[in-house]
Structure 1
Amino acid sequence: MNDGPETRDETDVIRGRARRPWSRRQWLAAAAGSVAAGAAGFGGYVFRFEPHWVEIVRREMPIAGLPAGLEGKTLLQLSDLHIGSIVDDGYLIGALQKAAALEPDIVVQTGDLIQDAPSGLPKAARILEHFPRGKRATLSILGNHDYGPGWSHMGVGESTAAVQREAGLTVLRNSSVDVDGLRIAGLEELLGPFWRDGLAAGVVRDDRPHVILCHNPDACDRSIWRGRRPEEDYGGWILSGHTHGGQVSLPFYGPPILPVINKRYTSGEFYVGGERRLYINRALGYLRRVRFNVRPEITLFTLRSASPA
């Protein structure tokens, strides 16, 4: 008989405590904490991180009849900076410096440079000091926001173009330039006050450019690309912006909102009839600071010779 004090196995006590089940209140509190942490993390990514997480997209641009001197040269596309009160100035300057570091041969800007026109013009002039310059050409077109409220103010469009010219950009408005034998044309904005199908068609047919800058991809569904005969149809590249890729693209669904009639035109490359290829840049700027699965984009094309169809 053991008359000493009673002893207990502390291991069993510890194990007993470890096996004690959580109460319903504890489970709910843990679940709520996990949801809150996940929501905060997701919100930070969508509203703070991805809108400024610039992706450099590198692609080849095959062009039939490309002059030999342009083989392997680069064309850089920027679009939809939306300089103004919404997009952070420092972010835009950093993105432009990143683009300039690529040392492109040709730079094109495909519209919506300014969000708050005309009030944003002085700020645009300052930010354009950092705009990348192409070794051979630096070209630009206007988008709908470049025409001010309602996208209809001709004078605002003229002022937006003037600010760009003062910064050294060549603004193409239903006109084209020759860049070492490569014709590059820029069309007026489809939603702006100067759009006319006949004028745009004249630029497409008469200049026979290999690359056309056209802000709104819905213009690809107009009749302007067709020639008098089928063999005269435009068969080159069209570079656009405007959509921002929707800014939010849901898995297995895509962008819930797109500012175009043809909802096929999200972002990236499309065949749009005959040999015409459309490329839609996802934009550097935004209308609201939110992006999900649609990073802001700098596109760097490498020019390659292609056999005619």
Structure 2
Amino acid sequence: MNRRKFIKRTFFGLTGIGLVTGLYTWQIEPFWLEFVKVKMPIKNLPDDLVGKTLMQISDMHVGKRFDHRYIIKSFNKAKEFNPDFVVYTGDYVSTHKGKVLYDVLDEVFGHMVKGKIATLGILGNHDYGINWAEADVADQIASKLSDNGVDVLRNEATAISGLHFIGFDDYWGLNFNPQKAMQHFDPTKATIVLCHNPDVCDEDVWGQYNSWILSGHTHGGQVKPPFLPPFILPVKNRKYSAGQFSLSNDRTLYINRALGHLWQVRLNVRPEITLFELQKG
């Protein structure tokens, strides 16, 4: 093979690889949902909750960035698992031209996955509208969640069948008050904290808390080249990308990779719904 043919074949080969990769990251992986199963040992878990399932859904980002029917189809798949608890950990919307598409959100919320025992949720930064500064947007989204059977925790706690949930309002939003939320913590009770932004794990707000924290927010970076960390992560602590982390004082953090997307592109970071199996800790 002469040099000209080699260069030509190399050029077309690399062009073809680029086109295939581009198509995959745009049209395939963003909709290739993975159900991730995780064991969840919890201290003081009541006997009758052992073996129950808790589903985490995060970062739906309903708007114009991708076809919202993907979220509805994902919900229908998730319902086949018939979870006992469902928790939504924020970022239900992405604004379009500065507005939340409430009609589309209503359609999606009409298909939400519900837990047999309970369904709970918290808010994320995008649920506070433009620049995370629109309290009326957050209030309206919270109201719509409640209307659809989701118990929204805004620096609040609730106990259901012996399992206690503490929900933080968003770290970047207008109503972040972890001290108010954590005043409900009882170390003798089985407890899970819902906290959209994992950076909160490094704040001095946890006291003696020693159980699970469920977060989202990062989307796992959405694009992760082989053998390299994600290029973009919206957190100060760059280790908080996705998955399970052991923290100080016997805390365990889990970061969901998100169901939706800020932009319709993913590489080595498939969208995720997490299914936890409750166990004695």
In structure 2, distance between residues paired with 1:203 and 1:120: 35
Secondary structure of the 2:248 match is coil
Superimposed CA distance per residue, residues 65-109 of structure 1 (whole angstroms, 9 cap, x where no aligned partner): 111111100000000000001131121111111111110000000
Q: Displacement of 1:201 after TM fit?
A: 3.4
1:30 counterpart residue number = 9
1:213 lines up with 2:194 in the alignment: yes
Q: Larger radius of gyration, structure 1 or 2?
A: 1
1:43 lines up with 2:22 in the alignment: yes
1:243 lines up with 2:218 in the alignment: yes
In structure 1, distance between residues paired with 2:61 and 2:186: 31
Task: Give ranges in structure 2 of 5+ residues lacking alignment.
Answer: none
Pairs within 5 Å for 1:220-231: 220-226=201-207
User: Are the equivalent residues in 1 in contact too, given 2:217–2:234 (CA < 8 A)?
Assistant: yes
1:96 counterpart residue number = 75
User: Are the equivalent residues in 2 in contact too, given 1:174–1:203 (CA < 8 A)?
Assistant: no
User: Are the equivalent residues in 2 in contact too, given 1:60–1:304 (CA < 8 A)?
Assistant: yes
1:131 counterpart letter in structure 2? M
Pairs within 5 Å for 1:52-201: 52-116=31-95, 118-201=99-182
Further displaced range: 169-178 or 112-121: 112-121
Distance 1:197 1:74, change over 3 A: closer
1:299 lines up with 2:274 in the alignment: yes
Distance 1:120 1:208, change over 3 A: farther
Secondary structure of the 1:298 match is strand
Q: Displacement of 1:290 after TM fit?
A: 1.0
Distance 1:197 1:173, change over 3 A: closer
1:286 counterpart residue number = 261
2:249 counterpart residue number = 274
Instruction: Tell me the C-alpha RMSD between the 2 structures.
Output: 1.6
In structure 2, distance between residues paired with 1:292 and 1:92: 19
1:256 lines up with 2:235 in the alignment: no
1:280 counterpart letter in structure 2? I
In structure 1, distance between residues paired with 2:35 and 2:28: 16
In structure 2, distance between residues paired with 1:29 and 1:237: 55
2:183 counterpart residue number = 202
Using structure 1 for the length normalisation, give the TM-score.
Answer: 0.87
In structure 1, distance between residues paired with 2:262 and 2:137: 19
Distance 1:220 1:205, change over 3 A: farther
